[in-house]
Amino acid sequence: MKTLTEKFLVDERGKKVGVLLSFSEYKKLLKKLEELESLYAYDKAKASKNEVIPFEQAIKEIEKSRE
């Protein structure tokens, strides 16, 4: 995996208050986050022992919850 080349934003005391990333690195992080959210949702659903619903319905419900 490629190493991130972030730059830190600091306040007048030198305390890190933000991170500056290239747009492509930002998009990659968002994609990875979405993948992790999907895995988390799957694990949570599997552990809940609730009624099974069709995949298409599950996707619709997940997308609705993100709005």
Residue 14 lies in a domain: yes
pTM: 0.55
Residue 2 lies in a domain: no
Which whole number is the average pLDDT over 36-60? Answer: 87
Which whole number is the average pLDDT over 4-24? Answer: 91
Which whole number is the average pLDDT over 7-33? Answer: 93
Residue 13 lies in a domain: yes
- Residue 61: count other Cβ atoms within 10 Å of its Cβ: 11
Q: What range defines the domain where residue 24 resides?
A: 7-66
The total domain count for the chain is 1
The one-letter amino acid code at 34 reads E
CA atoms of 17 and 11, how far apart (whole Å): 7
State pLDDT tens for residues 41-50.
Answer: 888 888 887 7
Residue 12 lies in a domain: yes
